[in-house]
Copies of this chain bind each other. A is one copy, B any other.
Amino acid sequence: MKLTILGCHSASPHEHKNPTAQLLDIKGHRFLIDCGEGTQVQLRKSKVSFVHIKHIFISHLHGDHFYGLPGLVSSFRLLGREAPLHIYGPEGIKEALTLLLKLANSRTNFPLHFHELESKKSECVYEDDSVVVYTVPLDHRVYTNGFLFAEKEGMRRINADAAYAAGIDKSQFRLLQLGQDVLVDGDLVKNSTVTQNPHPPKKYAYCSDTAFLPSIIPIIQDADWLYHEATFLQQHANLAQQTKHSTAQEAATIARDANVQRLILGHYSSRYKNLDLFAQEAKSIFNNVILASDGAVIS
């Protein structure tokens, strides 16, 4: 699991402060999460191949999470993309993209699938053999979802040396991976003697933008990584409340109570020059905190 922070600042973009966008590499998938203005340039800077992005998850339709999407879709078209593109986001996202394409008198030469969200309860929005994605309903000024990206449990891992020593033929490896015991010349070889448990499945929870919202805790419980917005410090808790954003302390409280492994903070208001204060404030509640920064890769 690898997370690339393309942008982690709130509101208006500045030269070295990009609005929100992240790229999650998980089980062979490359998921784009939010797409503020300038995301395509950030992708190019990170030398990410555009064509491998097949699913884009948009939390809400504020500009700093969304206004890079029309340009990215347009660039996909210019690059001759043929692979289908799936876009998950609030109701209205299809109307907006479709109108912009129509006004440009252009159509995508690849299938563009919209998955419009309107539920206020967590729901599964994507699933395949290796990964499942759930929404995390948030509390912001417009309809907003975070997303939980969860690996599925993998297969048992074969200790090949032990398996061959026990006389097991490679043709039986699939059975071992599935957890079955196998017969060798009539003798039963116990699965546990030649395999190890699968790698524990990873979970990444992305929560932006939101007011302090303890109801998300059961959904994101035990996640390996939690990205939680921290637009403000506690000294501006009143602003956080008014604008339905969180403070670093609130983000850390969610991280602690959800028992996550690591908290990643971002979405800083441009009023703060010293971002270390976010880490300091959060660490008074929850120790394993890192600050997102544009271009950072977390793995």
| Chain A interfacial positions (CB closer than 8 Å to B) | 11-15, 37-38, 40-41, 44-45, 61-64, 67-68, 70-71, 74-75, 78-79, 90, 92-93, 95-96, 99-100, 102-106, 141-142
CB-based contact A104/B74 at 8 Å: no
Taking A61-B103, A67-B100, A90-B103 as known contacts, 5 extra A-B pairs with beta carbons closer than 8 A to each other, sorted by chain A number, are A12-B71, A13-B40, A38-B38, A67-B74, A96-B99
Q: How far, in angstroms, from A37 to B103 measured CA to CA in the complex?
A: 16
Please measure, in the bound complex, the distance between the C-alpha atom of A64 and the C-alpha atom of B74, giving whole angstroms: 9
Q: Measured between alpha carbons, how far is A96 from B12 in the docked complex, in Å?
A: 20
| Docked CA distance A286–B15 (Å) | 37
Complex Cα gap A20–B27 (Å): 39
- Given the interface contacts A63-B71, A71-B37, does A44 sit within 8 Å of B96 by beta carbon? no
> Would you call B96 and A100 a contact (CB within 8 A)?
yes
Residues of B within 8 A of A102 (CB): 92
How often does this chain occur in the complex, in copies?
Answer: 2
Which of the residues B13, B14, B44, B78 comes within 8 Å of A14, measured between beta carbons? B44
- Could you pull out 16 A-B pairs where Cβ atoms are within 8 angstroms? A11-B78, A12-B74, A12-B75, A12-B78, A13-B40, A15-B44, A37-B37, A37-B71, A61-B104, A62-B104, A63-B70, A63-B71, A64-B74, A67-B74, A93-B103, A105-B141
Task: For residue A243, give the distance in angstroms from its CB to the closest CB of chain B.
Answer: 11
Q: Determine whether the beta carbon of B142 is less than 8 Å from that of A105.
A: yes
Determine the distance from Cα of A15 to Cα of B96 in the docked complex, in whole angstroms: 26
A71 touches B78 (CB 8 A): no
A47: shortest Cβ distance to chain B, in Å?
11
Closest to A42 in B: B15
Q: Among the listed B13, B70, B75, which residue makes an inter-chain contact with A41, where contact means beta carbons less than 8 Å apart?
A: B13
Cβ-defined contact, A68 with B15, below 8 A: no
Instruction: Specify which chain B residues have a CB less than 8 angstroms from the CB of A103 in the assembled complex.
Output: 61, 90, 92-93, 96, 142
Which residue on chain B has the smallest CB distance to residue A140? Answer: B105
